[in-house]
A and B are shown apart, each in its own frame.
Chain A
């Protein structure tokens, strides 16, 4: 199933060995959009790397940009004010909702349900409007900055965000109802693609895929960063069958995650220090010049981040001639790079017609896989 294939959700090849209709062996072939981002970023300023990180996983750009920024702040020893942390949480969670909506909009046509594609894209447009107000562009925002965010909440953002998120919570119920009552969807996703949590974690799969297996592990509470430990939210866990988590569980986890993210955004707007209206406060314009002396050789910064697809991690090493200006080494851990071979292994024993369902339910995004 070659690079240009409507099922693959991205550019990669899956070589499948079949015996009749049953899948016997699979070999994924990645690297079709390997851009060498790690090498390019070795000669880019710390602020310029955010634009590359947006484009790593284009479906959830903000989560990757923030993942990088936390690692860069760890390397450069920069503190972030509390208000900026709240704004970051809002941006990240809105992006998580948009990413899951894109996933659902791409997953359902594979199952055969084209209505969900149009409905999910419509909700996603709502989220992208909110993100456009924050970040300025529709898809790649370059939103977080070292030491804070690009700019404060626009005037009226809180009102629009609350209205749109409440509308979204109603509409997602409609979409979920349509899918849960659709026999075709249920038959195609239940009982397909079993995966057990211990095996998943051993393979390196994390995130919603593990939570679908019945364990409530989430980096946002396990290794807390930002203000997640002060917000009011629950971890979305499913209760799988004995054989493991199937595609239906993974779908349910993501829909529930969307609801929790909406709840987190509304809560962050309520708990914002300084109020949710625009509140101009002086940042520190010399923050990066001061940082030049800090990122010398031997200093490293890394950060595990709960991305929409799993656990993403950035590792930055300082040193070299351009210390303080460019990172010496930037290493990116992509959850999908590890999940795709695992998902390919889950398919063995199922029929060829189950391949889109299994692959889609693991939510592949090839941009982050082939950095």
Chain B
């Protein structure tokens, strides 16, 4: 049950070569990296410039077959270099999952034998890093229409980190309460956790104010 390492390396190198040819001029860096521990297969790391993100995403999805958007997350680097004050990190996977084919009223299972997978059939991990320079309102293009799975990931990133996604329909708070103050994004580095050099985050520290309509009511 083993994907052969040579095939995986080859496949990763193919992706990197294709990326450099296609997008090298636009400032995109791609390389094959290896995990230091844990996963035994290489992965593709791409450093994507901010304004080409949606085009690169479409290329990855349709040409390179990265059909699964695993996670879109963001980091705030207040002490980082000037080009990298905010970073959006996207993890994709190439799973090559297809609907099972129909044969006369029944479906057939899609069973893949790991040892014969080659080239674009090899499952691959992608890590894409998008650096955003210093700004009060970091924005990045949304890839909601490329992968449906990006939808809730982007909502969560906006909710917790504060990075906005242009073109995202229906952005709302998903993890924090709906009445959180606008502009409060806890994972930014200026907010500290309670009892740790803490400044009061906003003026209801315990945050359990009951709705005024329900005051004094016994249900």
* Contact among B68, B75, B91, B112 with A201 in the assembled complex (CB-CB below 8 Å): B68
- A-chain residues with CB within 8 Å of residue B106 when the two chains form the complex: 239, 242
A237 touches B111 (CB 8 A): yes
Closest to B103 in A: A242
Q: Which chain A residues numbered 310 to 355 have a C-beta less than 8 Å away from chain B?
A: 311, 313, 315, 317, 319-320, 328-329, 331, 333, 337-338, 341
**With A215-B100, A217-B97, A223-B41: A333-B147 Cβ-Cβ less than 8 Å:** no
Between B68, B102, B160, the greatest number of chain A beta carbons within 10 A of the residue's beta carbon is seen for B68
Closest to B147 in A: A202
A315 touches B149 (CB 8 A): no
A239 touches B187 (CB 8 A): no
Tell me, yes or no, whether A79 is within 8 Å of chain B by CB. yes
- A-chain residues with CB within 8 Å of residue B150 when the two chains form the complex: 204
Bitwise interface map of B from 60 to 94 toward A, beta carbon under 8 Å scored 1, else 0: 00000001111101010101100000000101010
- B-chain residues with CB within 8 Å of residue A274 when the two chains form the complex: none
A residues in contact (CB < 8 Å) with B: 30-31, 34, 36, 38-40, 43, 70-71, 73-75, 77-80, 196-198, 200-206, 210, 213-217, 221-226, 228-229, 233, 237-242, 297, 300-304, 311, 313, 315, 317, 319-320, 328-329, 331, 333, 337-338, 341, 370-371
A201 touches B97 (CB 8 A): yes
B99 touches A197 (CB 8 A): yes
- A-chain residues with CB within 8 Å of residue B206 when the two chains form the complex: none
Tell me, yes or no, whether B182 is within 8 Å of chain A by CB. no
Q: Please list 11 pairs of residues, one from A and one from B, whose beta carbons are closer than 8 Å in the complex, sorted by A's number.
A: A31-B173, A70-B39, A78-B37, A198-B98, A202-B149, A215-B97, A215-B109, A221-B1, A224-B39, A242-B106, A333-B70
Interface size on B, residues (CB 8 A): 61
Closest CB in chain B relative to A72 CB, distance in Å: 9
User: How far does the alpha carbon of A181 sit from the alpha carbon of B77 in the complex, in Å?
Assistant: 58
Closest to B105 in A: A242
Tell me, yes or no, whether B95 is within 8 Å of chain A by CB. yes
A224 touches B152 (CB 8 A): no
B35 touches A74 (CB 8 A): yes
